[in-house]
Structure 1
């Protein structure tokens, strides 16, 4: 058993089941878009892409079930409190989970980016894995890492200053930005870099908006921001 069942409330248990269903649906959509748009079920790099996602999700799920099952439940419900987040989050999801795989799949079908060198794929795999690992590290380190930019007053939210948060204030978003550029390379599509770039840009905008909100509303965050100077890019921003 991963956790003591007696330590999980019925509400948390329902949230965990809901989150796992959401993940399965997302993987189904992502796989369908990639494979149907490409016209190839034997597309190696699509399966590598999906495999990295599945592997990281399994790892994160096992770790969270052992340490913080309530985080899984919390991430099953997106409580949006800011209008900017609904717009930015929605556009980002469409670009990253739909436009990138769709463009890459069509590129594979019609060979728009012909003769992609193997080393481009390999660099993409390495960078995508790094971005995924960084996102996972932030998720597992921060007890308040949810899908919405809000202050979790009901859970007594505090500032996370350990792990990757020692170096930058939004390591999970840096991981997502790296993934946005690496996924098109992994899949071998220069055209997919267009929605990939736009999704990364939106993530930077979200980081700026969320950081501003945290400095205004989360106790202790302003002092943390003074000590940890960079939001996402060490030495730059």
Structure 2
């Protein structure tokens, strides 16, 4: 399938997948915040996808390369935990908003803040893809594609900006949807899974990617500015 078709199909699958996570646990589509989120996510995904295809098609292809045949057991575990951390909070958010209400729900102002955090997270992920054509979902060196160090743009400030974006994206989403519990869960689970995966990723990159060891000395921040 043409890269454009694969991109749009992938976005459609993501929207349907997120919708299932939000609506199936509660058995209704009567959740305006979730519907608006899905519409915004679909719109900016299509726009950013078209933009990336026009300026960085190799980055889009890199995200579509599974690389599972070279993925280590440790990275499979890390990838699985991170996938859970990205999806479980959405299920918890729907159940908490409609049934549990374990703690006070965030205010309307906080939910708007969540929308802003989500958008910032999305932009950070987009910037990471713009400045690193080798940002693949699995930890491996893409020798056939001429894998080289990415240290420009946002990578001059963060060694793993895509993970920063994931954290902001998911935490912002659950805050926007109105669940304090899911927001806390997303922040905790993602932080733990990201730190674990960074350890695996950097162990590989320090050995196999020329210049990476020196890069870690120049750029101290992994994914949380002033913290880690």
TM-score > 0.5, shorter chain as reference = yes
Tell me the residue number matched to 2:91: 102
Per-residue CA distance 1:179-228 (angstroms, 9 max, x = gap): 23222211111221354121332022112221221111101111211111
2:114 to 106, 124, 144: 124
Change (3 A) 1:118 1:151: same
Q: Which moved more, 1:47-56 or 1:100-109?
A: 47-56
Tell me the residue number matched to 2:16: 28
The equivalences for 1:1-237 within 5 A come to: 13-14=1-2, 17-80=5-68, 81-97=71-87, 99-110=88-99, 112=101, 113=103, 115-196=105-186, 197-237=188-228
Show structure 2 runs of 5+ residues with no match.
Answer: none
**TM-score computed with the length of structure 2 as normaliser:** 0.88
Instruction: State whether residues 58 and 133 of structure 2, in contact with CA within 8 Å, keep that contact through their aligned partners in structure 1.
Output: no
Change (3 A) 1:91 1:16: farther
Instruction: State whether residues 14 and 73 of structure 1, in contact with CA within 8 Å, keep that contact through their aligned partners in structure 2.
Output: no
Instruction: State whether residues 170 and 231 of structure 1, in contact with CA within 8 Å, keep that contact through their aligned partners in structure 2.
Output: yes
Per-residue CA distance 1:107-146 (angstroms, 9 max, x = gap): 1221515553111211111111111111111111211112
Instruction: State whether residues 114 and 173 of structure 2, in contact with CA within 8 Å, keep that contact through their aligned partners in structure 1.
Output: yes
Alignment coverage as a number of residue pairs? 224
Per-residue CA distance 1:59-110 (angstroms, 9 max, x = gap): 321122112323323322311322122111112212322x111111111221
Q: Cα RMSD (Å) of the superposition?
A: 2.1
